[in-house]
Structure 1
Amino acid sequence: MEVGPAVIKDKYTIIRLGIVVSSKAKKVPTDLTVNQTFETKDAWSSMRGLKMLSMEKGSVFPELSTRTDGLTDSLTKDKPVELFPVFKAPSDGVKTVELFMPQMTVAIGLPVVEASAVDYSVDDVLAKAELDEADPGPFAMNSIILSADGSSDTKKNEKSTTVTVDGDVTFEVDSDQLSAQADAVLANVVEQIKKYPSGGDLTITGHTDDVADDAHNQDLSERRAKAVSSRLKKLTDLSTWNESVSGKGESSPRVPNDSDEHRQANRRVEITLTPSKPAEASASPSASAVPSSATVPDPAGPVGKGPEGVDVKVGGKAVHMSIDGVFRVGGYLAGTLMLTASEKVYVDVWEFLMPPEIEGPHSWAGWMMGVYNLTLLSAGQRYLGVDYSYSNGAWVMLSNDFVFEIQPGEATRFPVVWPDTGEDSVTLDLPGGGGIWERVAARLTDIPVVNV
Structure 2
Amino acid sequence: MHQRNRTRRAGVAPVLLAGVALTLAGCGADAPDPGPGQATSAPPTLSTDPTPVAVQGNVLGLDIEGTVGPLVVDGDLAVLRVELGAIGGEGSLLAGNVFGNRAISDYDDSFDGVRLVDLDSGVVREAARSVSGKALAELGDQYMIAPGREPVVGFVAFDAPTTPTTAVLVPSLGLVEEIPVVAAADADGLTVPVADLAPSGVDDVVAPTAVLETYSATADDAVRTRDTGEKVSVNVSSDVLFAVDSADLGPEADTALEAVARELALAADGELVVAGHTDDVGDDAANQDLSERRARAVADRLGQVADLGRFDVRVEGRGEREPVTAELTDEARALNRRVTVEFTAADEPVVAEGSTDGDAVPAAGPTVEGLGGATLEHLDSVGAVQDLHVELVEVRRAGGYLVGTLDVRNDGTDYATFVSVLGSVRDGRGDLGSGFLGASNVTLLDGGVRVYPVDYLVEPTFYDLNERNVLADLQVGSLNPGVTSRVTVVWPDTGAGTVVVDVPDGSTTVSDGSTPVRFVDVPVAD
The superposition leaves residues 207-265 of structure 1 with CA deviations (integer Å, 9 ceiling, x where unpaired) of 23455655544333222212222333333343443322111234444446955444433
Deviation at 1:311, TM superposition (A): 1.7
Task: Give the aligned partner of residue 449 of structure 2.
Answer: 381
Q: 2-side partners of 1:448 and 1:274: how far apart?
A: 33
Aligned to 2:476: 403
Gaps of 5+ in 2: 1-54, 56-66, 129-135, 379-383
| Partner secondary structure for residue 255 of structure 2 | helix
Work out the CA distance in 2 between the residues paired with 1:194 and 1:235: 12
Would the alpha carbon gap of residues 403 and 215 (structure 1) be closer, same or farther in structure 2, given more than 3 Å must change?
closer
Residues 23-172 of structure 1: pairs in structure 2 closer than 5 A:
25=88, 34-41=95-102, 42-43=104-105, 44=107, 45-64=109-128, 65-69=136-140, 72=143, 74-75=145-146, 80-90=151-161, 92=162, 94-122=163-191, 124-130=192-198, 134-172=205-243
Of 330, 350, 375, which residue of structure 2 is paired with 1:311? Answer: 375
Matched, 1:422 2:495: yes
Map 1:285-296 → 2, pairs under 5 A: 290-292=353-355, 296=360
Which residue of structure 2 aligns with residue 220 of structure 1? 290
Contact 1:341 1:410 in 2 (8 A): yes
Query: Closer, same or farther in 2 for the Cα pair 1:410/1:353, shift >3 Å?
Result: closer
Shift of 1:170: 2.0
Matches within 5 A, 1:224-373: 224-255=294-325, 258=328, 260-275=330-345, 280-281=347-348, 290-292=353-355, 296-314=360-378, 316=385, 318-341=387-410, 346-349=415-418, 351-352=420-421, 354=423, 359-362=427-430, 364-365=431-432, 368-371=435-438, 372-373=440-441
2: CA distance, partners of 1:256 / 1:160:
23
1:269 deviates by 0.5
CA distance in 2, matches of 1:342, 1:257: 34
The structure-2 alpha-carbon separation of the partners of 1:191 and 1:58, relative to structure 1 and needing over 3 Å to count, comes to farther
* 3-state DSSP of counterpart to 1:349: coil
With 149-158 and 395-404 compared, the bigger mean Cα shift is at: 395-404
Aligned partner of 2:79 in structure 1 is 14
Which of the residues 197, 202, 223 maps onto 2:272? 202
Q: 1:46 to 1:177 in 2, by over 3 A?
A: same
> SS at the partner of 2:420?
helix
Q: Which moved more, 1:263-272 or 1:253-262?
A: 253-262
| Letter paired with 2:522 | I
Cα separation, partners in 2 of 1:174 and 1:409, compared to 1, 3 Å: closer
CA–CA separation in structure 2 for the residues paired with 1:366 and 1:100: 20
Checking the alignment, whether the CA contact within 8 Å between 1:191 and 1:291 is kept in structure 2 is no
Q: Normalized against structure 2, the TM-score is what?
A: 0.71
- Measured against aligned partners, the alpha-carbon deviations of 1:289-308 in whole angstroms (never above 9, x if no partner) come to 93359974332322213522
Report the Cα distance in structure 1 between the residues aligned to 2:481 and 2:288, rounded to whole angstroms.
59
Distance apart, 1:125 and its partner CA: 4.0
Instruction: Tell me whether 2-11 or 219-228 shows the greater mean CA deviation.
Output: 2-11
Deviation at 1:178, TM superposition (A): 2.9
Query: Using the alignment, how far apart are the partners of 1:447 and 1:209 within structure 2?
Result: 40
User: Structure 1 length as normaliser, TM-score?
Assistant: 0.82
Match of 1:392 in 2: 460
**Residues 138, 156 of structure 2: 8 Å contact kept:** no
Higher helix share: 1
The amino acid across from 1:281 in the alignment is E
Partner Cα distance (2:494, 2:157) in 1: 32
Greater shift, 404-413 or 72-81, is seen at: 72-81
Helix, strand or coil at the partner of 2:293: helix
- Select the structure with the greater relative contact order (CA < 8 A; seq sep ≥ 6): 1
Counterpart residue type for residue 126 of structure 1: V
Q: 1:220 to 1:407 in 2, by over 3 A?
A: closer
Aligned residues: 434
Whether the 8 Å contact between 2:110 and 2:137 is mirrored in structure 1 is yes
2:257 alignment partner, one of 169, 186, 200:
186
CA distance in 2, matches of 1:191, 1:70: 58
